[in-house]
Amino acid sequence: MSLSSHDDLPVAIAIGILSTSDIVDKVLPGLKQSVFRVLGVASRDPERAQLFCVKNDCGDGMSHADMLSHPDIDALYVPLPSGLRNEYLSRAIAARKHVYSEKPMGGTVEDIAQLVGECEAQGLQWMDGTMWYHSTRTKAIEKSIREGDIGPVQHVSAAFTFKAPDDAWLNGGNGRTDKTREPMGCLGDQGWYPLSAILWAYNWELPEKVMATHTTLNTVDTIVACTGTIWFSGGRSAHFDCGCTSAHRSQFEIVGERGTIRVDDLVGGQGRSGDFSAYEVPFIGSNLYVQGDVMGKDRVMQVPPCDHVNELVNAFAACVQHIKEGGKPDPDWPRRTLAVHTVMSAVFVSSQNGGAVVSL
């Protein structure tokens, strides 16, 4: 479908969206507030994509193939299911498009290493959709940890859980609970958050070994809950849990030799308010965390609130703009993706083998 209706509009960085999935409703407002110009949305059914575009004022609907080959599109947002995404990511990179990929990743560690390697070789930016990395709060905590405010990190505990709304949803009625769409189930979809928080707290050091201490499967043999232990060098450790069989929690605690840092609303940033819509629509939050001293005295630390999506999109846009001006891709983002997928894949192997310890 022609994009001529937009030819007279200035386009700083042209981006296409390679799906009409639900997460697009969360991300699209962030793309629109940025320097990106959304030229269209793709679907297996171009008519469906066109209806989506008309409803949301976001360019023109087209097929996946048309979007991948479109010469005016600089970057692609790829929110396809994990089980399908890698093929399209590879095609996008071959077509010299910068990629903003939803997470979790699919395939093997070697598959993702190849994709990020292809991106680097082409001089393209890779970024995954882990929104919380980009918040003002995350950056403030990261600075505090790196400057030694709580001393060397010794332990991290992190969780992301919520209760499935009904049995049909729990037993394959949602992408998270159907391994044909999300191969690692809730370990993939929800486990990405606590595992990323753990690795981030340890400054992206890979652990020595992992173990899935408990795994729950649904009636279609998909992980719907998982807990585990992670060992780092020098006696340091971490614990995580995730899934859709218990009450809502979205949190981490980082324990150092001289203090602690705690966040109780990691993923959505909405505080302990019960406002689950923060996961589905634009939301401004993440304005505080708790820092404890060596004696256990806590202080509430205030930071400027933000919308995670806007911060991620702006970071991606800045990377792409830097490359367009002659710079190089930022290697930190693909490094993070590969690290989390490496650990998650090891946990998944452990979960499939009765909780056996898996060395990295």
pLDDT of residue 163: 98
Distance from C-alpha of 295 to C-alpha of 341, rounded to nearest angstrom? 36
- What DSSP character marks residue 203? T
Low-confidence spans in the chain with pLDDT less than 70 = 1-11
What is the model's pTM?
A: 0.95
User: What tens digit of pLDDT does each residue of 169-201 get?
Assistant: 999 999 999 999 999 999 999 999 999 999 999
Following DSSP, what letter does each residue of 284-323 receive, concatenated? -B--EEEEEETTS-EEEEE---B-HHHHHHHHHHHHHHHH
| Residue of 70, 106, 66, 109 whose CA lies nearest to 87 | 106
pLDDT of residue 226: 98
pLDDT of residue 11: 46
Amino acid at 359: S
Domains plus CATH for the chain?
A: 4-131+313-331 (3.40.50.720), 134-308+340-359 (3.30.360.10)
- What DSSP character marks residue 206? P
Helix axes 109-122, 332-351, angle to 10 degrees: 170
pLDDT of residue 10: 39
pLDDT of residue 203: 98
Beta strands in the chain (DSSP E): 13-17, 36-42, 60-62, 75-78, 98-101, 126-128, 153-163, 209-217, 223-231, 237-243, 245-256, 259-263, 288-293, 298-302, 358-359
| Residue of 267, 275, 348, 313 whose CA lies nearest to 27 | 313
pLDDT of residue 180: 92
User: What tens digit of pLDDT does each residue of 307-350 get?
Assistant: 999 999 999 999 999 999 999 999 999 999 999 999 999 999 99
User: What tens digit of pLDDT does each residue of 42-55 get?
Assistant: 999 999 999 999 99
pLDDT of residue 184: 97
